Structure 1
Amino acid sequence: MKFLKNRTVLGVVCIALALIICFAITPLFNASKSSTMKIIRIKNDVKIGQEITSKDIEVVEVGAYNMPSEVLQKSEDVVGKYAAAEMIKGEYVLSAKVSDTPASENGYLYGLTGEKRAISITIPSFAGGLSGKLISGDIVSIIAVDYKEKGETLVPDELQYVEVIAVTDKKGNDDETVTVKPDGEEETELPETVTLLVTPEQANILAELEAEGEIHVALVYRGTAENAQKFISAQEKYLEELALKNEKENENTDKPEVPQKPTQSEIAEDKNSAGNSGENNSEIDKIIIDPENNSDTQSENNSDDNSETEVTSSGESV
């Protein structure tokens, strides 16, 4: 009799559970599956580092069931941000794929303020780009072959000290890229271009050399940012002096000359200026770098060497 009572109780419990599942849990489960939510989806392909605009995204309504919490739902969380990873059309936008700042690989381009320009020049040969050894932060001189079709190979005064901000291969990658061939052999992509941080005047000269001449890049300095700035400051000082000199020459050519008989004091002054000719010519300041302060290039064997390296405007060391 107890056994039957137990079976009866057990059956009632099972029936009650079945009713709860059918009329309570199942409708809730179906409702959760049928519920929808609005999310952000990529409308146009977006490359890494690219700023995302309203034209690149669209708001769509999808099923909310099993949707990751990282999927962004508001357009204001995406528009104006930068792509931290490449996104293709139809892809949902995840919070991890957007950033408030540009991607680090091309962040240097977002640091421009309008005073300087970033311009790339083609490396004509393996040797022309320092055999692929150039890196961001290097100070280089630009050697022009057959400069202005005069048959001369020289370093233009305007391009004695220039900063490298990127070295890029033919695929647009700034970092060294290793490609694995079908046979398993690794092949390193060599740099194709060098991007330099220059003034507008320097950019014009580089564009002319890129179009008409042949360019070689010579390494002048690699080391601390403080020492590198000394070279840049010297180049900027020279460019300022050159601009002032050209401005004065233009002012003199614009003014009509009226012949006048020179005074004795003017004659004496002309003689003095003639004797001092060449002293007022603009030259790039000589930069002296103490090897002990160049932590990036100092070797242990030379730790006690107090010699100094003098860098002249021609890029030679004395």
Structure 2
Amino acid sequence: MGFIKNRTVIGLLCIVLSLVICFAVTPLFNNSISKKTEIVRVVKQIKIGDEITRDMVKNVEVGAYNLPEDVVRTVEEVTGKYASIAMVSGDYILHSKVADEPAAENAYLYSLTGEKQAVSLSIRAFANGLSGKLISGDIVSVIAPDYRKQGATVIPPELQYVEVIAVTANSGYDANTAENENKEEEKELPGTVTLLVTSEQSKILAELEAAGKPHLALVYRGSRENAAKFVEAQDTKLLELYPPEVVEEEAESRQIPEETQEVAGETEHGSPVILPLEQEEG
């Protein structure tokens, strides 16, 4: 204990430790920070789907410390490839931001698995579609005035939380993905909104479309994780409203009885004739 309490020894140890830090550790750290490397940086705006050309990017020398592992380091690696996301001047290019093939137009339609459908709803008035502010990924509620001629304005339980997958202008271009963007022209107002729904939901949307009065209310905009919670809550409600066994029974009841057969030939209107089989005599 006496040795530890000796102020002279403690002072000398502190001096030695500080010298080690100053002349050994610090130079190594500074050397690692001061290392330079070349990476590719964007020099002009690149939109989603654009083919990357040499005039859009250039090699620059930057500090090598703490760079992303998948940063692109030579212009040749990205020339001729296509942007997967929009980039602006000054952005680093990562391998995850580019693709060998251009993104498919209306790519969200290619991600359908058969479990759900994409259904478009007309926006007949500016206010009905949140004044043109809706974007893909939003969660909305569909409001139905005079729902099914019952005199009440309601949010059908089937359409409380619905995901928006596209907002399209009357020209056919997606209004919220900068397709056909032209700064010299005024921004196009949305004409339809496309929703990701089940078959049961799509039938109700078709009714509302025919009535011509649906109104959309924004419920949530944010992270995909939180948006998925709203969709899961809606799916749970749909299971309560349409239990699988009930749906199967209804489908079976709509099947053509075995006692009928399709007779070759057509009516004068071109539709097939279906007649019952004649029962055997005796």
TM-score, normalised on structure 1? 0.43
TM-score, normalised on structure 2? 0.49
Q: Which is greater in Rg?
A: 1
More helix by share: 1
